[in-house]
Amino acid sequence: MTSMITLLYVDDEPDLLDLGKLFLERGGEFSVTITCSAQDGLEKLSTSAFDAVISDYQMPDMDGLEFLNQVRSLYGNLPFILFTGRGREEVVIEAINLGVDFYLQKGGDAKSQFAELRHKILIALERRRTVDALKSENEKNRNLMDHASDAIFIIDIASGRFIDANKKAREITGLSPDEITARPHLSIHPPAYHDKYRAAFETITRDGSGSLTLIILGADGRYIPMIVSATVIDLGGRHCIMGIFHDISEIQMTQDALQLANKKLSMLTEITRHDIRNKLTVIGGYLDLVKSRPPEPDFSMYLKKIMSTVKIIGENIEFSKLYQDLGVTAPVWQNVHDVFFHACAHIDIKNLTVQSDTRDLELFADPHLERAFYNVIENSLQHGGPVTLLRITATESPYGEVTIHIEDNGTGIPPFDKASIFGKGFGKNTGLGLFLVQEILSITGITICENGEYQRGARFEMRVPQGKYRYPRNQQAERCHIMMPASEKS
């Protein structure tokens, strides 16, 4: 019978502790001890054995990073997960440097959130079991290495060469077992980093253990960021370093996206301030003209200009409220088919046939992806004339990119407008719809253009770079969905 997994959960919010304990224990695999302070957590660790620790970041007296540092000093590689509402980049970086197993941000649906926490706990426990098992050299170790979810390399300290690597390590590098054992350990890293990594491994050799972030050259030529937990071990009298390499590509992509979002928000604040200042100048000018009581039709025209300008200011303010949310929540993997049809659900499409053929394609995108799709669809229906067909498809190029096509059978975009439609202020209404689409997509490096044929329909193309899309390994069968107009349904 499998023994219960014991967890210590530390957070200064009692209600969240109680909720977390309920969600984690209801599956029967965890026993959760809760406490409201890191200091009390250390006392509990000194008197009871726990399999893993979950901790908030922002707590009085001792925050989560100080607590992590104490746990690493006293209890070595005890799995530690930082579960916090604070998403600052410097907190993530310091936590990684201190050896945190996972950094998970609070927020959103409680069921999904604690399901993800459970998943991270199990991965962290698996990694610890792998480390412990590898210290004795036998066949069981070999099996555990090849089934580990992280890449594991073993380096002979004397020669600086690899003497072993698990299946995951071979998949990432694209090297066979013989190719790996014939190489020095620095060969899997970009040459520009060799001096830095050589010094880091010398420090680990001296201290007996350590962690660092580094870059591995992937089999496809990509630079893959990794967090490495390294330990000096003895294999039959041979002094070696065992390194467990955890891919942090998604963490890095999230950090990059948040930085870009902050830059965009700063830019928009300046643009909006400038636009509103100009509009206020316009209003002031027309008010001066109105004060002189000009004759008709001038008087009515001036009032109409004032009212129109006030409306534009209001629309800009509403837009800025939506725009300021970009990047507040970290990008996530989203199924294109599902998000597209959720967007369609907000629009009256009873006279429209909607087709989707994107299979199980997922994008790493800002959570406002549904809003981007909605704006593209709404643009087609408002400006495309008698649109009766809307289709979304995806094609993968040999260069590691995916292009998503959203097309209709309406009027299309005139050639002289194609270069301008994504500009802020372009169009018959607010001129903010397609501008917002472009901004949402660009958070994770996705670009958009319109490449349809005028009088034959609009065709929006979204180019998704390598690493920002995926097809889940357990794909469903070919997924093609068609939503027919109500009049054509039997």
- Report if pTM > 0.95: no
| Total number of domains constituting the chain | 4
Range of the structural domain that residue 266 is part of = 251-328
Residues of the chain above pLDDT 70, percent: 81
Within 36-93, strands assigned E span 52-55, 80-84
pLDDT in tens, 123-134: 888 877 776 665
Question: Which of 313, 328, 343 is the endpoint of a domain?
Answer: 328
Which residue, chain included where needed, has tokens 């087709």?
A: 355
The helix (run of H) or strand (run of E) holding residue 280 is: helix 249-291
Position with higher pLDDT, 18 vs 292: 18
Q: Are 232 and 155 in contact (CB under 8 A)?
A: no
Please give the average per-residue pLDDT across 428-438, as a whole number.
66
Please give the average per-residue pLDDT across 375-379, as a whole number.
85
Please give the average per-residue pLDDT across 224-244, as a whole number.
87
User: What is the pLDDT at residue 489?
Assistant: 46
Domain check: are 27 and 122 in the same one? yes
Domain check: are 214 and 351 in the same one? no
User: What is the pLDDT at residue 143?
Assistant: 62
User: What is the pLDDT at residue 445?
Assistant: 85
User: What is the pLDDT at residue 52?
Assistant: 94
Q: Are 336 and 358 in contact (CB under 8 A)?
A: yes
φ and ψ of 91, to 5 deg: -65, -45
- Beta bridge partners of residue 105, listed in sequence order: 84
Beta-sheet pairing, 447-450 with 362-365: unpaired
User: What is the pLDDT at residue 302?
Assistant: 84
What is the spatial distance between Cα 310 and Cα 379, in angstroms, rounded to a whole number?
Answer: 24
Question: Which of 328, 351, 366 is the endpoint of a domain?
Answer: 328
The 332-335 sheet, strands edge to edge: 332-335, 362-365, 469-470
Domain check: are 341 and 483 in the same one? yes
User: What is the pLDDT at residue 1?
Assistant: 47
Confidence of residue 259 (pLDDT cuts 50, 70, 90): low
Question: Which of 328, 352, 371 is the endpoint of a domain?
Answer: 328
Domain check: are 256 and 282 in the same one? yes
Q: Does the CA dihedral 356-358-361-366 come out positive or negative?
A: negative
Q: What is the CATH number of the domain that holds 66?
A: 3.40.50.2300
Domain check: are 340 and 475 in the same one? yes
Confidence of residue 318 (pLDDT cuts 50, 70, 90): low
In this structure, what DSSP letter does residue 110 have? H
**One-letter amino acid of 124:** A
What is the spatial distance between Cα 37 and Cα 485, in angstroms, rounded to a whole number?
Answer: 58
pLDDT in tens, 119-166: 989 988 887 777 666 555 445 556 667 777 888 999 999 888 898 888
Domain check: are 295 and 435 in the same one? no
How many Å separate Cα 139 from the centre of its chain?
38
Q: Of 38-47, 355-364, 430-439, which has the strongest mean pLDDT?
A: 38-47
What is the spatial distance between Cα 363 and Cα 331, in angstroms, rounded to a whole number?
Answer: 9
Domain check: are 233 and 256 in the same one? no
pLDDT in tens, 384-422: 888 889 999 999 888 778 999 999 998 888 888 887 888
Domain check: are 480 and 347 in the same one? yes
What is the spatial distance between Cα 223 and Cα 243, in angstroms, rounded to a whole number?
Answer: 18
Mean pLDDT estimate for the chain: 81
Domain check: are 175 and 300 in the same one? no
User: What is the pLDDT at residue 413?
Assistant: 87
pLDDT in tens, 93-108: 888 888 888 888 877 7
Domain check: are 94 and 37 in the same one? yes
What is the spatial distance between Cα 269 and Cα 288, in angstroms, rounded to a whole number?
Answer: 29
User: What is the pLDDT at residue 426?
Assistant: 54
Domain check: are 219 and 175 in the same one? yes
Domain check: are 237 and 178 in the same one? yes
Q: What is the CATH number of the domain that holds 419?
A: 3.30.565.10
